Amino acid sequence: MSNLSWLSQVQQQRAIAVIRVAQYDLGIHLAKAAAEGGLKLIEITWNSDRPVQLIQHLRDYLPHCVIGAGTLLTQTDLERAIAAGAQFLFTPHVNVDLIRTAAEQKIPMVPGALSPTEIVTAWQAGATAVKVFPIQSVGGADYIRHLGAPLGNIPLIPTGGVTLENARTFLEAGAIAVGVSGQLFPQEAIAQGDWQAIAQRVKRLVQIVRG
C-alpha cells in the first residue's frame, strides 16, 4: 500500500483501532469486533501475544481491512512485521533508520514523537505521518492546535488518552485521525465475551469521528 493510498484511507476512516492483547484469541475477537463496528484500520501492537500470526490471520480473515503493526522498537521488529504482511507501521519513538527502511520498502510508517523537533525530524526522515504520543500528557487537543500553525503540513495522529468523548476535539484541532486503544475495548465487555457490545462501541466512535 502506497503512502498516498494509506493516507487517503486514514482521511476517510479518521480513527485507528489499536489492539494490545496478552492472548492471541482475544486479539482475533477484538479485531473482528472493530471491523464489524466499521473501522478498517487496525493496528496490532508488537508486544501482543504472537503478533506475527495475529497479523497474518487478520490479513486473511479481514481482507477488507488494513492491518498494521505497532510498538515496533528495533530493526528486527520492523523486518518481522513487514514479513508478516503488516500494511502500515507504527513506532513509539523517532528512529531515523527505521523510518528510512520503511520508506525504502514503500510501507507507510508513523513514528511516535512529542516535541516539535521530534515531529519535524521524523517528517524530514520520510515518515508518512507522525503519531503524537502521549497526547494527554502535553495538553490534549490544545497541543495539536498549537502545533498546527508551524507544522500544519505534517499529518498528525494523536494517541495516548484519546476517548470517545474527546476524539472529535482532536480532529477539529487539526489531527488527520486518532488512535484509540483501551477506550474501545472495555474490560467488562471482554470479561463477558460481549463482542457485540464492543462492536457497538466502535460504531459509536465511527459516528463521532466522521461527524
- Segment 23-47 shows an average pLDDT of 98
Query: Residue 211: is its pLDDT beyond 90?
Result: no
Report the amino acid identity of residue 42. I
- Residue pair 20/179 in contact (Cβ under 8 Å)? The answer is no
Segments making up each domain of the chain, as ranges: 3-203
Q: How far apart are alpha carbons 98 and 90 in whole angstroms?
A: 10
Nearest Cα neighbor of 86 from 75, 95, 77 is 77
Q: Is the pLDDT of residue 46 over 90?
A: yes
CATH fold of 3-203 reads TIM Barrel (3.20.20)
Q: Helix, strand, coil proportions of the chain in percent (round to 5)?
A: 55, 15, 35
User: Residue 198: CA atoms inside 13 Å, Cβ hemisphere, count?
Assistant: 30
- Tell me how crowded residue 24 is: count the other CB atoms within 10 A of its CB: 14
Q: 82-124: per-residue pLDDT in tens?
A: 999 999 999 999 999 999 999 999 999 999 999 999 999 999 9
Is the pTM higher than 0.75? yes
Q: What is the pLDDT of residue 1?
A: 78
Tens of pLDDT, residue by residue over 149-193, are 999 999 999 999 999 999 999 999 999 999 999 999 999 999 999
Q: How far apart are CA 128 and CA 201, in angstroms?
A: 28
